[in-house]
Amino acid sequence: MRIFSPHLHLSLWISSLLLASCSQGLLERRQNPVRIPDAPHQDNSDAGAVSDEKTETPKDTPPPLESPEPYHLSYGFKSGRQLFNSYKNASLWKPSPSAIQLFNAMEESLPIKGYASDFDSTKQGNIVKLASIFCAELIGDAAARKAFFTTDYALLTPTQLTPEAKAAIARTLMEGLWGYETKAMNMVEMEKILVDLQTQVLVGNVSVAQAMAGVCIAVASSMPAVML
């Protein structure tokens, strides 16, 4: 079954916008980090004794781990491999040989270290490609799709795609791919995408399965923006 059509470009565009906006926000955070004041350096030179030339200095007394020193809360992006792993971990997706080949071929042009500086528009584009093949294979494979969504929404007719069904699709994807912490945060945003996709479904441009794939791509390609 061919899942994608040119009409889904809209959702890809939205995904890119979401990513671009997120990465800009994170970039700003990374450039203005909250710094933790370091403790004054204490020399350890007693440890490296050379016979008579031993130099005595006070030993370090490390503070306990529970010390009140504030931690520096940072955000990171998922690396390309973490994304790939996340897709597999969240679902019963077994990447096809062509998906593995695509991933191997472009891994170097996906985020590698998870820093904002390691994240540019080429990488964003490749993340959408990776998310696209994941979503196509997840929703195209009946067993994996049923296991992930529990209810087989892809078999619904356009008129059966009720607001409740749409919300369930989006929630399942977000909880599965983004995890617990972000489950409620982006529902408002996601609803805009769902409304648009349902319009496409209702006018007959895309099937329900294609609409699901569009939502899936938006969620899956936004994973790097989620705090690790």
Write out the residues near another protein by the rule CB under 8 A. Answer: 17-18, 21-22, 24-26, 29, 36, 38-39, 41, 43-51, 53, 55, 60, 62-65, 67, 69, 71-76, 78-79, 81-82, 85-86, 89-90, 107-108, 112-115, 175, 177-181, 185-186, 188-189, 223, 225-228
Give least dist CB 48 to another protein, A: 3
Amino acid found at 9: H
Contact 193, 14 (CB under 8 A): yes
Give least dist CB 43 to another protein, A: 6
Token readout for 207 is 């099937």
User: Of 78 and 166, which has the nearer Cβ to another protein?
Assistant: 78
Contact 121, 129 (CB under 8 A): no
Collapsed DSSP state (helix, strand, coil) of residue 139: helix
Give least dist CB 117 to another protein, A: 12
Give least dist CB 201 to another protein, A: 21
Contact 63, 69 (CB under 8 A): yes
Radius of gyration of the chain (CA): 23
User: Of 62 and 204, which has the nearer Cβ to another protein?
Assistant: 62
Give least dist CB 160 to another protein, A: 27
User: Of 66 and 164, which has the nearer Cβ to another protein?
Assistant: 66
Q: Which of 227, 214, 111 is nearest to 179 (CA)?
A: 227
User: Of 3 and 218, which has the nearer Cβ to another protein?
Assistant: 218
The span from the CA of 69 to the CA of 161, in Å, is 52
Collapsed DSSP state (helix, strand, coil) of residue 54: coil
**Would you tell me the crossing angle of helices 80-90 and 97-106 to the nearest 10 degrees?**
160
User: Of 3 and 223, which has the nearer Cβ to another protein?
Assistant: 223
